[in-house]
Amino acid sequence: MEAMVLDALIPGRFQRYVALGDSFTEGVGDPDPGRPNGVRGWADRVAAQLAGQDDRFRYANLAIRGRKLPQILAEQLRPALALEPDLVTIYAGGNDILRPRVDIDTLMTHYDRAIGQLRANGATVLVWTAFSGQGSAMYKPMRGRFAYYNELVRESADRHGATIVDFWRMREYDDWGWWDLDRLHMAAPGHELMAVKVLDRLGIRHSLPAPTPRPLPVLTRREQRSANWEWTKDHLAPWVRRRVTGRSSGDGLTPKFPELARPMDIPSTR
């Protein structure tokens, strides 16, 4: 696997990058009204860096917020394979794990098969472990699930020769300054940091500056209770309501970039 990562240093190593997943990869929390679906995200940033190094580079992003793992595989896997990518990123399962009931073994059997299909065509495939959430009262009860999911991701990566981006061990993200106000998605600085992490993991030289987390106010205990109430009303309650009614934040949305093209940040050479 190390040799595969070092290959990324060869100029022009990646020319067809396809990103799959949910809100994490779509870019939710990093608003940009000028882009499809109104968001940018770490994957767009990675694509711009790769495009700046090779005029032949093309990028597609099939991720849609709210999608669970079976939906991601059903909707995105076949189109991704048809694009014949040499680089694929996929992070799926987070929306499943947060449900009251989940069969992680069955879930990850399907995920493993998909990773194998993506690797079979020779693409470099990046997969993620789950965020640790150790500093979050909301995520704390789920950490056992996260850890089990991570172990199965590691097994799949070992089996198929995929490359792991180890979110679980990124202690920086314990700082809520990297996160959006909804406490579910990374804010713009969090996406900037993830782009740096991905490029560094691939061994790609890049020009992205080191980001800093957004400053957080120091709150009194009373102010913290008030902030928690506002978060519950504005973010948690709508999220729960969608779960109960079977709706999704991604209903009606289509992929940002369904076909391979030059990233928006880079002028087309065609």
Whether residue 258 lies inside any domain: the answer is no
Question: Are 231 and 136 in the same domain?
Answer: no
Note down the domain range covering 172.
2-216
- Residue ranges of the chain with pLDDT lower than 70? 1-12, 183, 219, 223-251, 266-270
Q: Is residue 257 part of a domain?
A: no
Please state, for a pLDDT cut of 70, what percent of the chain lies above it. Answer: 81
Instruction: Looking at the structure, tell me whether residues 170 and 238 fall in a common domain.
Output: no
* Residues in CB range of 32: below 8 A, 6 or more apart: 38, 39, 40
The whole-model pTM stands at: 0.86
CA distances from 266 to 17, 62, 91, 156 (A): 15, 19, 25, 34
Q: Are residues 168 and 231 in the same domain?
A: no
Over residues 229-245, the pLDDT tens digits come to 565 555 555 555 655 66
Q: How many domains does the chain have?
A: 2
The reported pLDDT for the residue numbered 254 is 94
Residues 231 and 101 in one domain: no
Query: Does 228 share its domain with 211?
Result: no
Q: Are residues 164 and 196 in the same domain?
A: yes
134 in the same domain as 34: yes
Q: Residue 31: what pLDDT?
A: 95
Residue 267 belongs to a domain: no
